[in-house]
Amino acid sequence: MRTVETVGDLLRDASADLAAAFAAAPVPGALRYALDLPVPPRTGTPVGQLDQPRGRTALLAGPGVLRDRAVDGLRELADAAHVGVANTWGAKGVFNWDSPHHLGTCGLQARDFELLGFAELDLLWVVGLDPDESPPERYELGARVVPIHTGDLAAFATRVARSPYPIEPPPLFERLAAVAQPGYVDERFPRHPARAVMDIKQRMAPGAIVTADPGPAGLWVARTFPTDAPGTVVVPAVATPGIGVALALAAARAGHPSTAVTVEPLDDTTRALIELASRLDAPVVIEVWGDDVDLSLTALLVEAAGPVVAWGS
């Protein structure tokens, strides 16, 4: 099997020119999971012992959990330890949106980790993080931070102590729900972005994937798409022109019906990718948000969780 490390690798046999445009763009962990790409070799030495939860404990999971196909181990550890799990946006779906372990998607806005209650924790386990999504200075708010390798999750689940503390929805979850839930059923035109996301969700067939460009589209998809399976939502950690459509096209060519969400005006690379998708007759839908989606409502998210900090915003 050929090595696949970048989005360019996925597009090389479709267009050499477009593959070159994504030669430095890594394949997001969520897409690696969806396409069942090989798990990268483990680096680092195994950890012999897990710091047991003494006091209030939570877990922060990043896209490496999907990249390394360690979702089952994460769920086993969370269940055995009786702790909540916050996921960065590259790890959406490690828990269903309505799971009692799910604390919310984070890393997109300035107050995310504060509103998750990380400053009140005694212990924060972190696993599979990408510094482009979650640099340590954002989530290190006073708790003792202990990294766990994705390969150790399942083993640690068999010998972890159970936390006596209840898992409660944090303020972040409640604040974002107050924006998203009314938005899902909003009938206004231009559409509420959360309604636009829900429209996509309701059209998606089982096994389909939604991707989005970093920026307004990626923010609303990552924030409000109600994820019920890992590897179904792919929003990259780094902005590259055309990346949303490139990822959807790669997924579609691998047999996954896909929807890419982007915003007007379209850049030249995105236009070229749309033309390529049309020529290849790939099962991909390009959703372009323009005057039909009211992106001024992003102010509601900013009011709820602070300025957007993802993608160097």
The pTM for the full model equals 0.95
| Predicted local confidence at residue 97, as pLDDT | 84
Q: Which residue has the tokens 């798409």?
A: 225
CA pair distance 183, 196, nearest whole angstrom: 9
| Predicted local confidence at residue 46, as pLDDT | 61
Compute the C-alpha angle 111/112/115, nearest 5°: 80
CA pair distance 86, 70, nearest whole angstrom: 15
CA pair distance 217, 202, nearest whole angstrom: 17
Q: What is the pLDDT along the chain (313 residues), one digit of tens a residue?
A: 467 899 999 999 999 999 999 999 999 999 999 999 999 888 766 666 777 888 999 999 999 999 999 999 999 999 999 999 999 999 999 999 889 999 999 999 999 999 999 999 999 999 999 999 999 999 999 999 999 999 999 999 999 999 999 999 999 999 999 999 999 999 999 999 999 999 999 999 888 999 999 999 999 999 999 998 999 999 999 999 999 999 999 999 999 999 999 999 999 999 999 999 999 988 999 999 999 999 999 999 999 999 999 998 7
Domains of the chain are: 7-24+174-312 (3.40.50.970), 57-169 (3.40.50.1220)
| Predicted local confidence at residue 1, as pLDDT | 46
